[in-house]
Amino acid sequence: MWHDVDGMGWWMVAGTAWMLFFAVLAVWVVSRLAAGPAERQTKPVHFAEERYARGEISSEELAEIRRNLGV
């Protein structure tokens, strides 16, 4: 009459899976929002500054790159 033999079965597994999915999704969303714009994307001038730091380009070339990029 009350279907006592059915039990919870796969509903418990499916419910737990959904809860885990939403928990992971929430952590991912919060971590993406907490990351600043600089962490989300690397600006082109950053690559030029790294090249300058390694001595691959001169200060004049770095200044020209910054001028061309509008920085």
Crossing angle for the helix pair 59-69 and 44-54, nearest 10 degrees?
180
Predicted confidence at residue 31, as pLDDT, reads 85
Predicted confidence at residue 42, as pLDDT, reads 65
Total domain count, the chain: 1
Angle at 27 between CA 21 and CA 31, to 5 degrees: 145
**Residue 63, domain member (yes or no):** yes
71 close to 45: Cβ distance less than 8 angstroms: yes
Give the predicted TM-score (pTM) of the model. Answer: 0.44
Residue 36 in this model has a pLDDT that exceeds 70: no
Domain around 61? 37-71
- Digit-coded pLDDT (tens) for 7-35: 667 778 888 999 999 999 999 999 888 87
Predicted confidence at residue 55, as pLDDT, reads 93
